[in-house]
Amino acid sequence: MSERRRPIFYDTETTGLRADKDRIIEIAAYDPVENRSFVELVNPGIPIPPECTALSKITDDMVQRAASFKEIAEQFLAFCPKKTVLIAHNNDAFDKLFLQAEYKRTGVALPSFDYVDTLKWAKKYRPDLPRHSLQSLREVYGVPANQAHRALDDVIVLHRVFMAMIDDIPIDTVLELLVRPQILNRMPFGKHQGKPLAEIPKSYVAWLKENGALDKAENQQLRASFEQLGLL
């Protein structure tokens, strides 16, 4: 039997927003299968800006004697099983980029993990919500407050929030659903704009296809929706 994918929730605190110049100052992870956690302060080798300290409460003094990322890189990988799915909020635009940049600097190979961005999931499958920040989702799903912007606290909250969002959907299905185009309910443009897709005449759909409208990158979601409805 092949090894199953293991969800590992993680979070990073950093000196700023740019993975190419800023550094990780704390990394934490939680394995819900074995109920174990990993958390380390990291000496970034550069000063922590006051605005970052204001958010994370992590100071230069706190990381002065901490290990560098190179010194903890192998420890983090040892925490992650071979078929890990790394899950974080705003993963694709933030945590994953910082993780990849730090491993590139150290020269330690980062395995080809799968990644789940819970912010993208929330935006895709909870479009009814006005905000999709972790703290906003925490309130929606009734998860108790935490010490926001400390890595392990955010990881534990994220785990509880995401489990509530996906219910009993297996992690393999979560990965499939994230890359699957979201199905539209109404026509986004043209003379039938606002009309339910199921009511769009097949002749109009055929005309869109013949004229190349459904080949455009921005209309792939519409094309997939027509295909699911059997209109293509």
Catalytic site positions: 149
- Asked if 9 contacts 158 with a C-beta cutoff of 8 angstroms, the reply is yes
Question: CA-to-CA distance for 169 and 48, rounded, in angstroms?
Answer: 40
Angle at alpha carbon of residue 161, lines to 160 and 164, rounded to 5°? 90
- Please check whether residue 157 is in contact with residue 134, taking contact to mean a CB–CB distance below 8 angstroms: yes
Closest by Cα among 102, 101, 37, 19 to 67:
102
d(CA 40, CA 63): 10
Contact 165, 189 (CB under 8 A): no
Alpha-carbon distances, residue 182 vs 44, 125, 206, 214, 224 (angstroms):
39, 9, 21, 15, 8
Coil vs helix vs strand at 214: helix
Helix (H) or strand (E) holding 179: helix 171-179
